[in-house]
């Protein structure tokens, strides 16, 4: 499915590579019903390709083995077959199908693949503009969020609590803070 596409002011034609040093791929998930666990993926890459007419397209890849929740035991469990099954499904990918205006912000429509399952997702996007950079060429900034249900991607482990609820929630909020630089 292709959606209507819009352009970003100041984002010139070319390939804008995601700068993983100045970007974050993070998430939050409910834990024990009453709190949230936060984490990041430390190994990711991607690019925004802008056509001559200004139409942007996004492709990105996340190495799920790079999960970091600041707890080695939990990270090992999340990599296991109970959750990501990272040995069989080492990467998650996103490929946009369109970008549309949503008030003063945007929505990026795309296909997200995790755990071998591909589903359509909508990323709510704030475009932070373009800066001349620090001698290496222009950079652009973006912030995006989406909420996924892990069970939609075949991650269906249930760890019910005796008093009701579950150890891990079904809804995962993905938070992206992206800086991308125009490639020469």
Mean pLDDT, to the nearest integer, of 161-171?
67
Q: What is the model's pLDDT at position 114?
A: 95
Q: With respect to residue 112, please indicate whether it lies within any of the assigned structural domains.
A: yes
Q: With respect to residue 106, please indicate whether it lies within any of the assigned structural domains.
A: yes
Domain region containing 24: 14-182
Q: With respect to residue 123, please indicate whether it lies within any of the assigned structural domains.
A: yes
Which long-range CB contacts under 8 A does 131-137 form with residues at least 24 apart?
133/181, 136/181, 137/181, 137/182, 137/183, 137/184
CATH number for 140: 2.40.128.110
Distance of alpha carbon 100 from alpha carbon 105, whole angstroms? 9
Q: What is the model's pLDDT at position 156?
A: 80
Which tens digits make up the pLDDT trace of 30-60? 766 667 889 999 999 999 999 998 889 999 9
Q: Number of structural domains, the chain? A: 1
> Regarding predicted confidence, which is higher, 42 or 168?
42
Distance of alpha carbon 14 from alpha carbon 183, whole angstroms? 7
Q: With respect to residue 161, please indicate whether it lies within any of the assigned structural domains.
A: yes
Q: With respect to residue 22, please indicate whether it lies within any of the assigned structural domains.
A: yes
Strand ranges for 7-83 from DSSP E: 14-18, 24-31, 35-41, 44-50, 56-63, 67-68
Q: With respect to residue 4, please indicate whether it lies within any of the assigned structural domains.
A: no
Which tens digits make up the pLDDT trace of 1-27? 444 567 787 889 999 999 999 999 999
């Amino acid at each position: 499915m292709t959606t209507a596409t819009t352009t970003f002011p100041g984002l010139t034609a070319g390939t804008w590579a995601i700068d993983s040093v100045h970007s974050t791929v993070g998430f939050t998930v409910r834990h024990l019903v009453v709190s949230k666990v936060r984490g990041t993926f430390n190994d990711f890459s991607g690019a925004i390709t802008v056509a001559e007419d200004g139409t942007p397209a996004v492709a990105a890849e996340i190495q799920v083995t790079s999960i970091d929740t600041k707890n080695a035991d939990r990270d090992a469990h999340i990599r296991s077959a109970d959750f990501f099954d990272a040995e069989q499904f080492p990467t998650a990918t996103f490929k946009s199908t369109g970008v549309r205006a949503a008030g003063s912000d945007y929505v990026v429509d795309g296909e997200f693949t995790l755990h071998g399952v591909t589903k359509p997702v909508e990323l709510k996007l704030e475009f932070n503009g373009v800066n001349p950079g620090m001698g290496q060429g222009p950079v652009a900034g973006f912030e995006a969020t989406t909420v996924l249900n892990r069970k939609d991607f075949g991650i269906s482990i249930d760890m019910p609590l005796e008093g009701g609820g579950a150890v891990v929630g079904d809804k995962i909020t993905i938070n992206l803070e992206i800086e991308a630089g125009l490639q020469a």
